[in-house]
Amino acid sequence: MFLGVSGASANTLVSTSPISGSTLSISPTNVTVTGNVTLIADAPDANSITVTDPNGVRVDDGTIMISDVSATVGIRPHVETGMYTVTYFLLSEGEIPLEGSFTFKYQAPSVISTANPTPEPTQSQTPASSSWGTNFFVILLLLLAVLVTIGLS
């Protein structure tokens, strides 16, 4: 009955960030590959994720962080428009390695402008002027408080 059930399952790709085939207008700071089996974190040299720009130049920083079923590598800010290729090889314990590649497109902004703030003069705040009525009311309250204190004692 149990002969048809296998104890091991193949490690398959679950998701990527950025999403495979997507077009980005903001340069990502990292690339994440997520599988369905826990990855081996003890073998940093055996795992690899490389990101190359449209000219084939490597733009990742080479530092891979393994967290359970996900692996992340940092990348330098993109400046060139085009297709970026991510190639990955990740080991999982007792499983076939998770390996493959995907692409995403980065569309650099046509004009990068910085906002030059223009200072605006502030309106001078004049202190609130006290009126005779307010002063009289406060003095009256103080006198009543003194009378209540004398009456209670």
Q: Which pTM does this prediction carry?
A: 0.64
Nearest to 71 by CA among 54, 47, 97: 47
Cβ-Cβ contacts under 8 Å for 69 (sequence gap 6 or more): 14, 34, 35, 36, 37, 38, 39
> What does each of the 153 residues of the chain score in pLDDT, given as a tens digit?
344 444 455 778 899 999 999 999 888 999 999 988 888 888 767 889 999 999 999 999 988 999 888 999 999 887 788 999 999 999 887 778 889 999 999 988 776 566 777 777 777 666 666 688 888 888 999 999 999 999 998
Beta bridge partners of 51: 86
